[in-house]
C-alpha cells in the first residue's frame, strides 16, 4: 500500500472532512479523494460513508484506522532512529504544553533553544496537561511539558523539571483575608473556585482534602488558572494557585493540614524513539532547572 494513501486516510478519519484533510496535507480535495479511492480499491472495501456533507468510517474503515495509525507511527519512528545516526539536530519537534507553562516557564527555555538549534522547527500545541498526556500516549506528539500526573500511565516516561508549590488564595477584601491561620473546616464554609474535575491540580487538592472529612462548596470550575486568578481577585471565592502567580491582587492563606505542591516536567512515550531535537530540548530544560532563581 502507498504510504501517501494511508496518510490521506488517517487525516480524513481524524478531521472528519476531505476539505480539512486537504488543507492539512497541502493537497487539493480531489487529490485526497483520489488517494482514498485508490486505497479502497487496493483493499476491496469502502472506508467512508458519505451522507450529504457528513463523513463517517465504515466498519472496514474503523478496523483499518488504528492499524494505519500504527503503520505511520512506526514509519516516523524509523525516520527518527535513522536521523539520530547522523547526530544532527534538525527536523520538526512536536510538543504539547499548557497555557500556564507556556506563559510562565517556557519562554527562556524556548528562546535559548531556538538560538542554539535554529534548524529545528518547533510545532507547539497549547492544551490542558491532561490532554497533552493523552496525545503523547497516542503517539501524536513527541513531548509534553506539563503538570505531571499524580499516577502516570505505564506508557509514559516522566521527568520532573520544576517544583510548583501551590497557595490557597483569596482577595484582600475576602472575609478570610484578615485571618493569620485557619482550619480546613473554616475554609470549607466559603465558596471555592477550583480547577475542573479531572485536572491533575484538582486531583491533588482532593487527595489532601479527603482525610479531613470536609465538603467543599464549589461555586465555579475552570481549567484556566489565569481565569481563576481573575475571579479570586474580584472576590468571587477562594482558590489554589501556583505561588508564582500570587501578587498584590491575591492574598495567600495559611490553612492547617493543607500543603499543596505539584510538579511540572516532561513526558514522552516509553516506546517511542527519541529524536535528537527532543534530547536537546530536554537538556535545555534541565539547564534552566539548574540555574539559580
Q: pTM score, two decimals?
A: 0.72
Q: Are residues 51 and 93 in the same domain?
A: no
| Residue 293 pLDDT exceeds 50 | no
CA separation for the pair 199, 128 (Å, rounded): 8
Q: Tell me the CATH number at 157.
A: 3.40.190.10
Which band of pLDDT confidence, cut at 50, 70 and 90, is reported for residue 291? low
What DSSP state is assigned to residue 149?
Answer: P
Predicted pLDDT of residue 273? 82
Cell matching residue 124: 507547539
Q: Are residues 158 and 277 in the same domain?
A: yes
Q: What is the pLDDT of residues 227-285, one digit of tens each?
A: 999 999 999 999 999 999 999 889 999 999 888 999 999 999 998 888 899 999 999 99
Q: Rounded to 5 degrees, what angle do the CA atoms 281, 287, 292 make?
A: 145
Q: Are residues 112 and 170 in the same domain?
A: no
Q: Are residues 256 and 271 in the same domain?
A: no
Q: What is the pLDDT of residues 142-196, one digit of tens each?
A: 999 999 998 889 999 999 999 999 999 999 999 999 888 899 999 999 999 999 9
Determine the structural domain holding residue 155 and report its residue range. 84-162+264-290
Q: What is the pLDDT of residues 19-39, one digit of tens each?
A: 989 998 888 999 999 999 999
Q: Are residues 257 and 269 in the same domain?
A: no
Q: Are residues 176 and 251 in the same domain?
A: yes
Q: Are residues 93 and 152 in the same domain?
A: yes
Residue in this structure with the C-alpha cell 471565592, named with its chain if needed = 237
Q: Are residues 274 and 139 in the same domain?
A: yes
Total of domains in the chain: 3
Q: Are residues 157 and 270 in the same domain?
A: yes
Q: Are residues 148 and 90 in the same domain?
A: yes
Predicted pLDDT of residue 292? 52
Long-range contacts of 277-283 (CB under 8 A, 24+ apart): 277/89, 277/90, 277/91, 277/92, 277/93, 277/117, 277/120, 278/93, 278/142, 278/143, 280/89, 280/113, 280/116, 280/117, 280/120, 281/93, 281/95, 281/109, 281/113, 281/143, 282/143, 282/159
Considering 41, 75, 109, which residue would you say is the last residue of a domain? 75
Considering 53, 75, 97, which residue would you say is the last residue of a domain? 75
Amino acid at each position: 500500500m502507498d504510504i501517501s494513501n494511508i496518510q490521506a486516510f488517517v487525516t480524513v478519519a481524524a478531521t472528519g472532512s476531505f476539505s480539512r484533510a486537504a488543507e492539512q496535507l497541502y493537497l487539493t480535495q480531489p487529490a485526497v479523494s483520489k488517494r482514498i479511492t485508490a486505497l479502497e480499491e487496493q483493499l476491496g472495501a469502502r472506508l467512508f460513508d458519505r451522507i450529504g456533507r457528513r463523513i463517517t468510517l465504515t466498519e472496514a474503515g474503523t478496523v483499518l484506522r488504528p492499524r494505519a495509525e500504527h503503520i505511520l507511527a512506526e514509519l516516523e519512528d524509523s525516520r527518527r532512529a535513522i536521523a539520530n545516526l547522523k547526530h544532527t539536530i534538525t527536523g520538526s519537534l512536536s510538543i504539547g504544553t499548557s497555557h500556564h507553562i507556556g506563559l510562565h516557564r517556557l519562554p527562556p527555555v524556548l528562546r535559548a533553544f531556538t538560538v542554539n538549534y535554529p534548524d529545528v522547527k518547533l510545532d507547539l500545541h497549547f492544551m490542558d496537561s491532561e490532554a497533552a498526556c493523552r496525545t503523547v500516549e497516542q503517539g501524536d506528539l513527541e513531548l509534553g511539558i506539563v503538570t505531571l500526573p499524580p499516577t502516570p500511565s505505564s506508557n509514559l516516561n516522566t521527568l520532573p523539571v520544576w517544583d510548583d508549590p501551590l497557595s490557597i488564595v483569596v482577595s484582600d477584601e475576602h472575609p478570610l483575608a484578615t485571618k493569620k491561620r485557619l482550619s480546613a473546616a473554616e475554609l470549607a464554609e466559603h465558596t471555592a473556585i477550583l480547577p475542573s474535575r479531572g485536572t491533575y491540580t484538582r486531583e491533588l487538592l482532593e487527595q489532601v482534602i479527603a482525610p479531613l472529612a470536609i465538603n467543599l462548596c464549589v461555586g465555579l470550575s475552570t481549567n484556566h488558572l489565569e481565569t481563576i486568578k481573575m475571579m479570586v481577585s474580584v472576590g468571587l471565592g477562594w482558590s489554589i494557585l501556583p505561588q508564582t502567580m500570587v501578587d498584590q491582587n491575591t492574598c495567600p492563606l495559611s490553612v492547617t493540614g493543607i500543603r499543596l505542591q505539584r510538579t511540572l516536567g516532561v513526558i514522552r512515550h516509553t516506546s517511542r524513539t527519541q529524536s535528537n531535537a527532543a534530547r536537546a530540548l530536554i537538556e535545555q530544560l534541565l539547564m534552566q532547572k539548574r540555574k539559580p532563581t
